[in-house]
Chain A
Amino acid sequence: MRVYLLCLLISAFPAAAHAVIAQQEMRPGIGASAEYLVGERSKPAVLLVHGFLQTREFSTVATLARGLHDSGYTVLAPTLSLNVPNRSQSLACEAVHKHSLEDDVAEIGRWVAWLKSHGHRSIVLVGHSFGSLQLLAYLSLKPDPAVKAYIGASLVEAQIGTADRPALIGQLEARMHGKQRALVAQTLSFCRKYPSTPEGLLSYVRWDQARVLAALKQSPVGVKLIMGDADTLLGQGWLKTLQHVQVPMVIVAGANHFMDGSHEFDLLEHALKSLDTIQQAPTR
């Protein structure tokens, strides 16, 4: 299977050369771009969102995008702006983070709309890591009807380290109410120091495991999780929790959080299987 996929990748390489960069101005002065890989029209378009502070060039995402596209799927892989004009680089943890989860969700909505504007009526949201959380946040709101399914790889909650989440949320809310604009440096995800605006940080901090689980359960579209059993970045007992709530999930044995190496193909394989399943299921 893996050999087949490798051959497919090589043979489909010329198609990658026809990638289109789509650009949109998300907010004044803040432009964002997405790689638009046109696939077969009969297949749903995939909106592939990268992980925390990464870009679409991140290895796991880029490999997955190529694999999906090679399999005939149209893939739109945006790089979320994170309020950085035309961001093209991974944003450092220590950088000024003026973005919020709402901004991210808004941009996802804009890219869904962009896909629709390009004729795609069936859109599958595929995310990796924090991108899965952001897509889940989009689904928790009023998602576009064209969105037909959700595949989350290495889904994590908004981890804040050892900090007391309720207390932190309280502090951040207090800052917001006090209109204190000073950056707040807090552990978030893999960032030990994450300077952010209070409202931006608060938008992420609110998404703890419970809220994620709730969002999964309340998803308006079919959900599929692809998790690695060697993912050390996941919160303790997260996989068991997910299994406990019976979320459709594939656990790739030996895969870490980034599913790199040979597990990239596992991820692609499972993603393609999920997409095939979604294709055969009746649309909403």
Chain B
Amino acid sequence: MKWPDSISIKHIALAFITGLLVLMSLIGGFAAYQTRAVSHSLEQQNQNAAESELAAAVQRLLSRTEDQALKLAYWDETRQQLVLPEYYAYWRDQRVYESGILDNRHVRAALYDPSGMQLAPSPTKISMPARLPVSTPPHQSSSWLVDEAGAVALYSAFPVYSGEQRQTLLGHGLIRLDFMPALLRQESLHFTDTTSVKLILEPGETLAASELFSRLRFSARPDPDQLQFQTILSRTLLALFVLLVVTALLGFVAYNRLLMRPLGRLSEFIDAMQHGRFSPSPSRSQTMRISELENIRRSLYDYQLQLRELHGSMEHQNREFHSQARQDALTGCHNRRAYEEDWENFRQELKSAPQGVAFLLFDCDRFKTINDTYGHAKGDRVLSIIADALVMALRANDRLYRLGGDEFATFLSRTTPAQAKQIAQRCQSLLDASAFSDLGIIEPVGISIGIAFCAPDQLEHIDELPKQADIAMYTAKQPGRTRIALYGEDTERASQTLVASRETSALFQALATPGMIEMHYQSIHSLPGRKVGYYEALARIRYHGDLIMPNAFLPVVSSRRLETEFDLAVLLQVDADLSSGQLPAGCGVSINLSAQSISRPEIVSHLLELSRHNARHPLMLEITETSLITQMVEVRTYLDLLRTVNYRIAMDDFGTGYSPLRYLVDLPVDVVKFDISLVNKLGENNRAGQVVADFARMMGDAGYVLVAEGVETDAVLRKVESLGIAHVQGYLLSRPVPLAELAAANAAQNLKTTCSV
């Protein structure tokens, strides 16, 4: 049995009263038991007294009868009748009574001659036996009882002699009396219920007087004093019990009013306080009669007032803390914690109210460059302006969350993809209208927006929205995009490569496992002649036998800010390939590096170490133009250093990024690689083609070595040749191949490949 942790005071009171009643019941029961025992003892004493007095009465009756018999036996007149029985009837009917020997007429006497025959027949109404029983002893007195038609008769026979010397037996005398009346007529029966006295005797049965008492059945007369005593005691006990019950009830009522209810109110009051429910006026008017409880109530009241004030203060602080905890301190919009809570709640709400949902992910373009260039203060200001603009662009109930850094997000309920795009465009419009120039920022500040949409009937995919928006956002960041991408429409391919877990896993594994990054080499041909000038090393990841292409993992590298680590892995692999000797001597190798890596000392250190291959394989570094170079001074310093160890510097993807001319001016660039989008323009016979062609001639005239990328048609090739571009690269001439395949092809041609830069 497990006891409850706590019990109420009401239960204690009930238990106490119940215990009291039980105790009193036990005492009452014990008293009743004792009374019964005493009564039983008294009854037993009464019974014993009745038995004693009845035995005495029987003995007295027998003695009296024997005495009467003795008197008759020694009475002269008795002897006279036995000798001269002429007037026997007179003696029998008169003399025995007149003489006082027999005291009443219910007792009869008769005389019998020595042979046992009655001297003269008795009157019919007197049933004296005509002859003595044969069993009567001739010389002794004897007594017996006989049931005669329902009435018990006591007979006492006695011998009568001629004189005191008992010489001659004259005859016998016999006394008969009705036993029961004679017994019960005695006034000494005080304890015996005379109506209950019975002698068990079979009809006609003869019972010796000595056995008389054993056949007597009787009961004691109820003792009126005892009955009265029992009645008084029972009434007293009952009255006590009733008094106790009434007292207990009254006590319980008083207890309830004075203690339990006030305590209950106090308990409820304390519970309410515990649960923060403060009554406006806590029992101020309900004073308690018990002074101690009243003191407690007043103390609680005062305590409640203080607590309420404290609670109000704490509530205010909590609200502030909660708000602060969910608010981004810099921008004033909601923070990541608020985002996670709201997103989870929103997801739950969607289960009961399906609707179209759009998830918008915002990312500031080139924010790091701005931050690095203009300082954190201005960076923070830029973020605030962006947040303000976005909040203004969003609908009234939409919330903007800052997920971290320059990344913002919102999710739109009850919307469509078109509406989501419209809102995204409004965001960009408002942001474009923002006055960043007031901050002294001359670069354009924009945001890329990734949108993911989930229709009401596809809410089971709701969890994928953030990932899809992420994919869309990075798609939007791709050069040439409109900076707004809707997942599924604009980023079908990118979505499969950006944050797909397979590619991400492969990338991280490749960065941790040397050899997983596999370098493929695409030849770059010299013009005219189209001979192989050198090779561009292009990274691939071999993952579970499959080859993962750069367009699949480079977005991951960019999104995870893994440019340095990736570039280090590439340099290690190129070093290994060059060290293997499979590349024909004299053939240079062009290596792609991100602009961020150039300023990393560990990259520079590796490049310096790699420069040992320059004698056999002239090395070139390709820096993509699409990335913003924020640390221009440091990059130039490092590039100058690298040039001293014979590295050549190429500007990759020229024509797709921004500020290309600034890079050309500020950086020590040797080679400019025209992006495929520019190269394709060459094939067009229009003003754009003319501009590109003129620009190419101008670059060549300025001393830059030009490389045309992505040449896939003969028309473009001829145009490139006609413009005097030094090198050409593209599927028209060759595709990237693994080093082993390249070596095998060269071996198969059995030619000694020569490169001409």
Across the two chains, which residue of chain B brings its CB closest to A92? B99
A83-B164 CB under 8 A given contacts A94-B98, A96-B95, A183-B90:
no
**B162 CB–A CB distance under 8 Å:** yes
Interface of A is mostly: loop
Q: A98's contact among B79, B84, B162, by CB below 8 Å, is which?
A: B84
A-B contact pairs, 12 of them (CB 8 A): A29-B162, A85-B80, A85-B82, A85-B163, A86-B162, A91-B76, A91-B77, A94-B94, A95-B80, A98-B86, A183-B90, A195-B87
Q: Taking the nearest CB of chain B, how far is it from the CB of A121, in angstroms?
A: 31
Chain A contact-residue range equals 20 to 34
**A30 CB–B CB distance under 8 Å:** yes
A86-B84 CB under 8 A given contacts A94-B98, A195-B90:
no
Q: A84's contact among B80, B86, B87, B99, by CB below 8 Å, is which?
A: B80
Interface residues of A in 14-52 (CB under 8 A from B): 29-31, 33
Q: A31 contacts B163, CB within 8 Å?
A: yes
A181 to B88, CA, bound (A): 13
Q: B86 contacts A181, CB within 8 Å?
A: yes
Starting from the known contacts A95-B80, A96-B87, 4 additional A-B residue pairs (CB-CB under 8 Å) come to A30-B84, A85-B163, A94-B98, A98-B84
Q: Taking the nearest CB of chain B, how far is it from the CB of A16, in angstroms?
A: 19
Q: B90 contacts A85, CB within 8 Å?
A: no
A96-B83 CB under 8 A given contacts A84-B77, A86-B162, A86-B164:
no
Residues 63-93 of chain B, each 1 if its beta carbon lies under 8 Å from chain A, else 0 = 0000000000001110111111011001100
- Across-interface contacts of A183 in B (CB, < 8 A): 87, 90
A183 to B87, CA, bound (A): 8
Residues 70-89 of chain A, each 1 if its beta carbon lies under 8 Å from chain B, else 0 = 00000000000001111111
A223 to B98, CA, bound (A): 40
A29 to B82, CA, bound (A): 9
Q: B95's contact among A83, A85, A88, A94, by CB below 8 Å, is which?
A: A94
Across the two chains, which residue of chain B brings its CB closest to A91? B76
Q: B80's contact among A33, A94, A96, A195, by CB below 8 Å, is which?
A: A96
A84 to B79, CA, bound (A): 7
Q: Taking the nearest CB of chain B, how far is it from the CB of A71, in angstroms?
A: 30
A31-B162 CB under 8 A given contacts A84-B80, A89-B76, A96-B80:
yes
Q: A96's contact among B75, B77, B82, by CB below 8 Å, is which?
A: B77
Q: A88's contact among B84, B87, B94, B164, by CB below 8 Å, is which?
A: B164
Q: Taking the nearest CB of chain B, how far is it from the CB of A142, in angstroms?
A: 28
Q: B76 contacts A83, CB within 8 Å?
A: no
Interface residues of A in 203-220 (CB under 8 A from B): none
Q: Taking the nearest CB of chain A, how far is it from the CB of B89, in angstroms?
A: 10
A70 to B80, CA, bound (A): 35
- Across-interface contacts of B99 in A (CB, < 8 A): 92, 94-95
A87 to B77, CA, bound (A): 9
Q: A83 contacts B84, CB within 8 Å?
A: yes
Q: B80 contacts A98, CB within 8 Å?
A: yes
Residues of A within 8 A of B (CB): 29-31, 33, 83-89, 91-92, 94-96, 98, 181, 183, 195
Q: A96 contacts B91, CB within 8 Å?
A: yes
Q: B87 contacts A85, CB within 8 Å?
A: no
Across the two chains, which residue of chain A brings its CB closest to B160? A85
- Across-interface contacts of B90 in A (CB, < 8 A): 96, 183, 195
The 6 closest A-B pairs by CB, nearest first: A86-B163, A29-B83, A96-B87, A84-B80, A85-B79, A84-B76
Q: Taking the nearest CB of chain A, how far is it from the CB of B172, in angstroms?
A: 15
- Across-interface contacts of B81 in A (CB, < 8 A): 96
Q: Taking the nearest CB of chain A, how far is it from the CB of B634, in angstroms?
A: 175
- Across-interface contacts of A30 in B (CB, < 8 A): 83-84
Interface residues of B in 617-670 (CB under 8 A from A): none
- Across-interface contacts of B94 in A (CB, < 8 A): 94
Q: Among B87, B90, B99, B162, find the residue whose CB has the most chain A CB atoms closer than 10 A.
A: B87
**B119 CB–A CB distance under 8 Å:** no
- Across-interface contacts of B91 in A (CB, < 8 A): 96
Q: Taking the nearest CB of chain A, how far is it from the CB of B86, in angstroms?
A: 7
**B183 CB–A CB distance under 8 Å:** no
**B170 CB–A CB distance under 8 Å:** yes
A268 to B81, CA, bound (A): 38
A195 to B79, CA, bound (A): 18
A189 to B669, CA, bound (A): 198
Q: Taking the nearest CB of chain B, how far is it from the CB of A118, in angstroms?
A: 21
A83-B162 CB under 8 A given contacts A98-B87, A183-B87, A183-B90:
no
A89 to B163, CA, bound (A): 12
Q: A95 contacts B163, CB within 8 Å?
A: no
Q: B77's contact among A29, A33, A86, A95, by CB below 8 Å, is which?
A: A95
Q: Taking the nearest CB of chain A, how far is it from the CB of B94, in angstroms?
A: 8
Across the two chains, which residue of chain B brings its CB closest to A89? B76
Across the two chains, which residue of chain B brings its CB closest to A90? B76
Across the two chains, which residue of chain A brings its CB closest to B77? A95
Q: Taking the nearest CB of chain B, how far is it from the CB of A105, in angstroms?
A: 19
Q: B79's contact among A33, A86, A92, by CB below 8 Å, is which?
A: A86
- Across-interface contacts of B75 in A (CB, < 8 A): 89
A89 to B77, CA, bound (A): 9
Q: A92 contacts B77, CB within 8 Å?
A: yes
Q: Taking the nearest CB of chain B, how far is it from the CB of A157, in angstroms?
A: 26
Q: Taking the nearest CB of chain B, how far is it from the CB of A234, in angstroms?
A: 28
Residues 44-80 of chain B, each 1 if its beta carbon lies under 8 Å from chain A, else 0 = 0000000000000000000000000000000111011
Q: Taking the nearest CB of chain A, how far is it from the CB of B67, in angstroms?
A: 16
Q: B83 contacts A88, CB within 8 Å?
A: no
Across the two chains, which residue of chain A brings its CB closest to B164? A88
- Across-interface contacts of A85 in B (CB, < 8 A): 76, 79-80, 82-83, 162-163, 170
Across the two chains, which residue of chain A brings its CB closest to B170? A85
- Across-interface contacts of B79 in A (CB, < 8 A): 84-86
Q: B80 contacts A83, CB within 8 Å?
A: yes
A92 to B95, CA, bound (A): 10
Q: Taking the nearest CB of chain B, how far is it from the CB of A36, in angstroms?
A: 16
Residues 94-110 of chain B, each 1 if its beta carbon lies under 8 Å from chain A, else 0 = 11001100000000000
A33 to B76, CA, bound (A): 13
Q: Taking the nearest CB of chain A, how far is it from the CB of B284, in angstroms?
A: 113
Across the two chains, which residue of chain A brings its CB closest to B84? A98
- Across-interface contacts of B98 in A (CB, < 8 A): 92, 94
A85 to B162, CA, bound (A): 6
A30 to B170, CA, bound (A): 11
Across the two chains, which residue of chain A brings its CB closest to B98? A94
- Across-interface contacts of A181 in B (CB, < 8 A): 86
A88 to B77, CA, bound (A): 10
- Across-interface contacts of A95 in B (CB, < 8 A): 76-77, 80, 95, 99
- Across-interface contacts of A83 in B (CB, < 8 A): 80, 84
- Across-interface contacts of B77 in A (CB, < 8 A): 84, 91-92, 95-96
A195 to B94, CA, bound (A): 12
Interface residues of B in 211-260 (CB under 8 A from A): none
- Across-interface contacts of A92 in B (CB, < 8 A): 77, 95, 98-99
Across the two chains, which residue of chain B brings its CB closest to A25? B162
Q: Among B80, B90, B99, B164, find the residue whose CB has the most chain A CB atoms closer than 10 A.
A: B80
- Across-interface contacts of B83 in A (CB, < 8 A): 29-30, 85
Q: Taking the nearest CB of chain A, how far is it from the CB of B87, in angstroms?
A: 4
- Across-interface contacts of A29 in B (CB, < 8 A): 83-84, 162
Across the two chains, which residue of chain A brings its CB closest to B163? A86
Across the two chains, which residue of chain B brings its CB closest to A23? B163
Q: Taking the nearest CB of chain A, how far is it from the CB of B724, in angstroms?
A: 199
A89 to B90, CA, bound (A): 19
Interface residues of B in 469-524 (CB under 8 A from A): none
Q: Taking the nearest CB of chain A, how far is it from the CB of B84, in angstroms?
A: 6
A94 to B94, CA, bound (A): 9
A95 to B87, CA, bound (A): 10
Q: Taking the nearest CB of chain A, how far is it from the CB of B367, in angstroms?
A: 164
A92 to B99, CA, bound (A): 8
